[in-house]
Amino acid sequence: MNQFEIKRIIDQAYDKAQLNKEDITAILAEDLANLDYLLQKADEKRDEICGDEVHLRAII
């Protein structure tokens, strides 16, 4: 789900004056999955550059 799909869901919910629990869950789950992916990539890059001495998650 990209930012345009999220905006479309929110706009539809606004037009209907409701946002159901499934839509909210889908939006939040996607955000969390994307965050986990980005943090994993940051950890991999840190390992590549610095080794295990520096933890980007702690900095973020």
pLDDT digits (tens, 9 = 90+) for 6-53: 777 777 776 766 666 776 777 777 777 776 777 787 778 777 777 655
Domain total for the chain?
1
pLDDT of residue 37: 75
pLDDT value for 55: 57
pTM equals 0.38
Q: Which residue segment(s) compose the domain that 34 sits in?
A: 3-59
Q: How confident is residue 57, by pLDDT bands cut at 50, 70 and 90? A: low
pLDDT tier at 54, thresholds 50, 70, 90: low
Query: What is d(CA 2, CA 8) in angstroms, rounded to the nearest whole number?
Result: 10
C-beta separation of 10 from 19 below 8 A:
yes
Residue 6 tokens read as 């999220």
Find the helix or strand (DSSP H, E) in which 52 lies: none
